[in-house]
Amino acid sequence: MSTESTPVADLSLLGLMQLVSPALPIGAFAWSQGLESAFELGWVSNEAELGDWLEGVLDDGLSRCELPVLIRLQTAWANRDAPALADWNDWLHANRETAELSDEDTRLGSALVRLLTSLDLMPDDGLMPGDAGYVTVFAWAAHRRNVPVRQTLLGFAWAWLENQLAVACKALPLGHTAAQRLTEQLRPSLVKAVDAALVREDDELGPVLPGLALASAHHETQYSRLFRS
């Protein structure tokens, strides 16, 4: 029996890799999602504390919010379900707890829309919500590239982790070897977060991240900043 991937599967994988690459020109590098303030406040000051912070955001944030909603959005795109797309996009906007987190989602979504438009990859059926956030547009791009849902979630979580470690390398500072140690440590946690997201019911969704929300709110008035959130 042949073990070779089909051309469609190969192209889907490459499309996902393009979508989660740090080189994707949407400006994700400019946002820290409250992590810069966690450094400033002394809540995170070394490799071990950063690992604990990231574990917490995965468990109580991504696995309860972005990842399960990404499932629902990608399914809605597949079904051409405009009401579901609008509802889940609105739900995500409502769950952004600070102005900076809301602004990040909106701006990254707009940047990804511009990029996909330039690549002639936007839907032409009017289904894209007018205020589509990053997760909503990411779900469309994954659907457009025929990426299986589980791989979409793993890719999204991987991109988040890479961005957070890049922030730490600039602002903590964290050496690149330490960042690779954390990547190795947290790879199983990414899989665990995806597994949890895949079985969550609608009434189990919602981030539980008061520390991140406080850090993000503090960042809005932080005197010295490298990042926009």
For residue 221, what pLDDT is reported? 73
For residue 5, what pLDDT is reported? 53
Q: What average pLDDT does the structure give for the chain?
A: 90
Alpha carbons 197 and 205: distance in angstroms, whole number: 9
Question: Comparing C-alpha atoms, which of 102, 158, 225 is closest to residue 150?
Answer: 158
Beta strands in the chain (DSSP E): none
Percent of the chain with pLDDT over 70: 94
- Band of the pLDDT at 154, cuts 50, 70, 90? very high
For residue 132, what pLDDT is reported? 93
- Band of the pLDDT at 72, cuts 50, 70, 90? very high
Global confidence as pTM: 0.93
- Band of the pLDDT at 53, cuts 50, 70, 90? very high
What's the pLDDT tens digit per position in 11-43?
999 999 999 998 888 888 887 888 888 998 899
Q: Is the pLDDT higher at 217 or at 200?
A: 200
Tokens of 171: 């602002």
Tokens of 156: 């999204």
For residue 1, what pLDDT is reported? 40
As assigned by CATH, the class of the 32-219 domain is mainly alpha
Tokens of 75: 């399914």
For residue 27, what pLDDT is reported? 86
- ∠ Cα 107 160 56 (to 5°): 115
36-63 mean pLDDT = 93
Alpha carbons 146 and 8: distance in angstroms, whole number: 8
Percent of the chain with pLDDT over 90: 67
pLDDT at residue 228 tops 60 = no
